[in-house]
C-alpha cells in the first residue's frame, strides 16, 4: 500500500510540475525544490512502510529501526549542508601534507606551506603543464630550467641566450621567452615574461617578479605564503 501511495504521489507531483512549469513554482516552492521534496517524501514513505511491515507487532524494533534511519538521514543532511566546509578542510590538510600545493582560502587567494628545506616550492602550471618553482623575490622574472622549459612546450633549439643574468655560479646568459599562462592554484596570469637558463646554470625553476608584480599582493607569515590575484 505504501508503495502505491508513493507512486500516486510521484505521478501527481509530475503532473503539477508539468502544468506549473512556466510559473516556476508549485505550492509556493520553486519547481526544483518541490521535485526534491516530493522525491524525498516518497522515499521516506516507502522506507517507513517497509519498516512498519517488517516490525509489525514489534513496536520497540520498529522504533529502533526508525531511529537508525533518522540518524543516517541526519548525517546525510549535515554532510550535504557542510560539504563545502568539509572540502576546504580536506584541501587545507592536503596542503600541510604536501607543501607547495596551493590551497584556495578565498576567491582569488591561495596559500602555500613552506617545504622542509626552508623554501617555498610552488606547484605551478606553466602553459598548462605542471612545473615546480621556487618562490624568489630576488629574481626579476620567472626563470625556467631547460628541462622545465621543454616540459611546457618550449623548443630549446629556437632560443637565443641574449639576456645577462647572475646566479650563484656567477654571470651567465639566459633566453627571454613569453609564456602563454602561469597559474598557481586559482590565480592565473597570461602573457608572462620569463627566461630560460642555460643547461647546468640553474637547479630549480624560479617564480620571480614578472609573475608576482602581476598579482594583487603577496605576503609571508611564518611558514605560510599567501598570494592574492
Read off the CATH number of the domain in which 203 is found.
2.40.70.10
Whether residues 106 and 212 fall in one domain: yes
List beta partners, residue 133.
122, 205
Is the distance from CB of 227 to CB of 184 less than 8 angstroms?
yes
Phi, psi of 205 (to 5 degrees): -70, 150
Give the tens place of pLDDT for each residue, 40-92.
Answer: 666 666 666 665 666 565 666 666 766 776 777 677 666 666 666 665 665 56
pTM of the full predicted structure? 0.60
pLDDT tops 80 at residue 213? yes
Exposed, middle or buried by CB within 10 Å (0-12, 13-18, 19+), for 89?
exposed
Phi, psi of 226 (to 5 degrees): -115, 130
Residue 200: strand, helix, or coil = coil
Q: What domain range includes position 7? A: 2-81
Spacing of C-alpha 176 from chain mean position: 32
Give the tens place of pLDDT for each residue, 186-202.
Answer: 999 999 999 999 998 88
- Residue 92 in any domain: the answer is no
Nearest Cα neighbor of 124 from 206, 54, 65 is 206
Whether residues 72 and 137 fall in one domain: no
For 175-193, b/e burial (b = at least 16 CB within 10 A) is bebebeebbbbebebeebb
Whether residues 131 and 207 fall in one domain: yes
Amino acid at each position: 500500500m505504501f508503495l502505491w501511495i508513493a507512486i500516486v504521489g510521484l505521478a501527481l507531483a509530475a503532473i503539477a510540475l508539468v502544468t506549473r512549469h512556466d510559473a516556476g513554482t508549485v505550492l509556493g516552492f520553486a519547481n526544483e525544490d518541490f521535485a526534491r521534496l516530493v522525491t524525498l517524501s516518497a522515499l521516506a514513505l516507502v522506507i517507513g512502510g517497509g519498516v512498519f511491515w517488517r516490525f509489525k507487532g514489534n513496536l520497540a524494533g520498529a522504533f529502533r529501526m526508525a531511529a537508525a534511519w533518522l540518524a543516517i538521514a541526519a548525517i546525510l543532511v549535515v554532510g550535504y549542508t557542510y560539504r563545502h566546509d568539509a572540502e576546504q578542510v580536506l584541501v587545507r590538510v592536503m596542503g600541510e601534507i604536501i607543501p607547495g600545493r596551493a590551497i584556495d582560502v578565498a576567491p582569488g587567494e591561495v596559500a602555500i606551506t613552506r617545504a622542509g628545506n626552508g623554501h617555498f616550492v610552488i606547484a605551478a602550471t606553466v602553459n598548462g603543464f605542471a612545473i615546480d618553482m621556487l618562490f624568489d623575490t630576488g629574481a626579476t622574472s620567472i626563470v625556467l630550467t631547460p628541462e622545465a622549459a621543454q616540459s611546457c612546450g618550449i623548443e630549446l633549439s629556437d632560443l637565443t641566450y641574449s639576456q645577462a643574468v647572475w646566479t650563484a655560479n656567477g654571470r651567465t646568459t639566459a633566453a627571454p621567452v613569453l609564456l602563454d599562462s602561469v597559474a598557481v592554484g586559482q590565480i592565473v596570469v597570461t602573457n608572462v615574461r620569463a627566461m630560460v637558463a642555460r643547461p647546468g646554470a640553474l637547479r630549480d625553476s624560479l617564480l620571480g617578479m614578472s609573475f608576482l608584480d602581476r598579482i594583487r599582493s603577496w605576503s609571508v607569515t611564518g611558514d605560510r605564503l599567501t598570494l592574492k590575484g
